[in-house]
Chain A
Amino acid sequence: MTTAARSITYAWIVLCAITIGSWWLAPGHSTHAATPSVAITTAVVLLGFVKGRLVIQYFMAVNTAPRWLKLATDAWLFTLWAAVLAIYLY
């Protein structure tokens, strides 16, 4: 297996682990009424950023792409999640 192929598998493992971990954070459990949580929402934003970056870097292979594409994708990702958090906290 090449280094790139191995990196894709490692990225997939981390992405799945974060996704399974987020099951406990979500409000969709019928056992109790959900309460708002700045901590959980901040965690969702940070983990969303990390997951998005893993997809862009390793699945989309932007880690070996030209600089303009790295900057464009990072700018989209950062602006989106920063705006989500800012609107939530406002």
Chain B
Amino acid sequence: MTITEPQQPKTDLPGDGHMWFMVLGDLIIFGAYFIVYMVQRAMAPAAYLQAQQHLSITIGVLNTLVLLTSSWFVAQAVRATATADYERAIRLICGGGACGVLFIAIKAYEWTTKITHGYTTSNEFFMFYYMLTGVHVFHVALGILILGIVVRELRNTRRRRLSMVEQGATYWHMVDLLWLVIFGLLYVMR
């Protein structure tokens, strides 16, 4: 009779340490922005709530669904790469990137309507709104560029590798994660 060792669950760092260092750093910086926003909001909760009412929750929900769907595409692309199904991985990443472009388009429409209606940075809530969503949308644009690089590498039979796809995916999911906090704080909380 042989005695088998209890199996340890397999652990594996998605991507590499450098990307995680950057992602954790970015999360801490955004975390500081969110805390500053909450402190400022606590000083004038009625004014903030009144200004929040001018944001369209329908657009907020729609943009969140678009970004969540983009993350689904990119996460599935990592699984497809792990099973060496590179064609499917490329299609999925393109789907994720297309959702990213759609997110920016919806955000541009939202900004345009707000500015047209006179909600500018002269209002403290809207100053935070433009700052937080502006820095975030810059991250979305950078994420789309990173996904483009991932697709280029996947098309090259000698350069395609799982860790590179995981790195791009980790960055993309961070963009999604930060948006979920912005959505909760700016659009939903009272």
Give A residues with C-beta under 8 Å from B: 2, 4-5, 8-9, 12, 15-16, 19-20, 22-23, 25-30, 33-37, 40-41, 44-45, 47-48, 51-52, 55-56, 58-62, 64-67, 69, 72-73, 76, 79-80, 83-84, 87-88, 90
Contact = CB atoms under 8 A, between A and B. Distances in A.
B163 interface: no
A80 B31 contact: yes
Interface stretch (B56-64, B99-107, B133-141, B147-155): B56-64
A62 B187 CA distance: 28
A33 B53 contact: yes
Interface of B: 9-14, 20, 24, 27-28, 31, 34-35, 38-39, 41-42, 45-46, 49-50, 52-58, 60-61, 64-65, 68-69, 71-72, 74-76, 78-79, 83, 166, 169-170, 173-174, 176-177, 180-181, 183-185, 187-190
Contacts, number: 156
B174 to A, nearest CB: 8
